[in-house]
């Protein structure tokens, strides 16, 4: 895959380049400041962009804004946004377009190399990768609603689904069969009153839209 990286910290930038090239990806360009990001994305049109939220010169949310701006011009451009901290609002902004190919993860997750690469590929393929911390926030903030009617196992399934995992991964993670996962998912959609939808990004969006409703 061809990747564009935007990261201002040289250590992390080099680390990321090393990591991606060592597994056979091609790093098309690296951007070290906010204003460089959008031109680099438009020029190289990568298979996936890995963007840091906070970048110079303002050290605010330049990376995120660049991601949103780029997706306005190239609607299907897959972006994986990394940050030192996660904000539900940012996740909502990234997902608001409704198009797939969005990831939002804590930088810490890069350390779990396999999981990170998996998330990167998922995003590049038009899927979703949402940090577990964001999902936890979404799941815990409400008290009195249908979420309480879910069994612990169904909650776990919902959590993994919201992170953007597919059925097979969910089954492996929870050590259950694919059929059991499908059954749990069916129950979750039934209890939350959501229409059944096929697997993949649309399903994640339905779940997230439900959780975001507040």
Partner 1 sequence: MRETLGRADRASMQLLMGAGLALLSYVFVGVLLFTVVASLIVIGLGVLPETVLLLRRMAGSKRRQVGRWSGTEIREAYTPLTGTLVERVRKAVKDPGTYRDLRWLFVHFVYGLALLYVALPLWVIGALVDGVWCGLLGRKAVVLPLIGRLAELDTRWSTALLKPSPEAERNAELAQRVEELTQTRAGAVAAHGAELRRIERDLHDGTQARLVALSMRMGLARRVYDTDPEAVRKLLADAQDQAEEALAELRHVVRGIHPPILTDRGLVGAVRALAASSGLDVSVRDDGVADGPRAPAAVEAAAYFVVAEALTNAAKHSGARRATVELARGAAGLRLLVRDEGQGGADESGGSGLLGMRRRVAALDGTMEVVSPAGGPTEIGVELPCVW
Which positions lie near partner 1, rule CB under 8 A?
Answer: 53-54, 59-61, 84-85, 87-89, 92, 106, 108, 111-112, 137, 141-143, 214
State phi, psi for 154 to the nearest 5 degrees: -65, -35
- The residue (of 22 and 89) whose beta carbon lies closer to partner 1 is 89
Q: Report in angstroms how near the CB of residue 152 gets to partner 1 at its nearest.
A: 21
- The residue (of 63 and 164) whose beta carbon lies closer to partner 1 is 63
Q: Report residue 31 as tokens.
A: 């951007």
Contact 152, 184 (CB under 8 A): no
- The residue (of 85 and 202) whose beta carbon lies closer to partner 1 is 85
- The residue (of 11 and 143) whose beta carbon lies closer to partner 1 is 143
Q: Report in angstroms how near the CB of residue 53 gets to partner 1 at its nearest.
A: 8
Q: Report residue 112 as tokens.
A: 């779990």
Q: Report in angstroms how near the CB of residue 90 gets to partner 1 at its nearest.
A: 8
- The residue (of 24 and 214) whose beta carbon lies closer to partner 1 is 214
SS3 of residue 105 by DSSP = strand
- The phi-psi region of residue 13 (left if phi > 0; otherwise alpha if psi is between -120 and 50; otherwise beta) is alpha
- The residue (of 59 and 202) whose beta carbon lies closer to partner 1 is 59
Q: Report in angstroms how near the CB of residue 173 gets to partner 1 at its nearest.
A: 17
Q: Which of 76, 82, 78, 77 is nearest to 55 (CA)?
A: 82
Contact 98, 174 (CB under 8 A): no
Q: Report in angstroms how near the CB of residue 188 gets to partner 1 at its nearest.
A: 19
Give dist(CA 109, CA 111) in Å, integer: 5
Q: Report in angstroms how near the CB of residue 51 gets to partner 1 at its nearest.
A: 14
State phi, psi for 106 to the nearest 5 degrees: -70, 145
DSSP conformation class of 122: H
């Amino acid at each position: 895959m061809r990747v564009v990286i935007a990261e201002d910290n040289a250590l992390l930038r080099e680390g990321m380049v090393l990591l991606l090239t060592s597994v056979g990806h091609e790093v098309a360009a690296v951007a070290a400041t906010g204003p460089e990001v959008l031109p680099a994305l438009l020029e190289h049109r990568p298979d996936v962009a890995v963007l840091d939220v906070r970048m110079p010169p303002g050290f605010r949310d330049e990376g995120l804004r660049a991601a949103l701006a780029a997706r306005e011009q190239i609607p299907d451009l897959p972006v994986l946004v990394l940050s030192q901290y996660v904000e539900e609002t940012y996740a909502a902004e990234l997902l608001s377009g409704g198009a797939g190919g969005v990831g939002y993860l804590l930088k810490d997750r890069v350390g779990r190399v396999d999981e990170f690469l998996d998330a990167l590929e998922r995003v590049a393929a038009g899927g979703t990768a949402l940090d577990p911390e964001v999902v936890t926030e979404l799941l815990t903030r409400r008290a009195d609603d249908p979420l309480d009617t879910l069994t612990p196992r169904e909650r776990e399934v919902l959590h993994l689904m919201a992170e953007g995992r597919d059925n097979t991964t969910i089954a492996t993670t929870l050590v259950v069969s694919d059929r059991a996962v499908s059954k749990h998912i069916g129950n979750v959609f039934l209890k939350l009153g959501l229409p059944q939808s096929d697997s993949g990004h649309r399903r994640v969006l339905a779940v997230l839209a439900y959780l975001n409703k507040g």
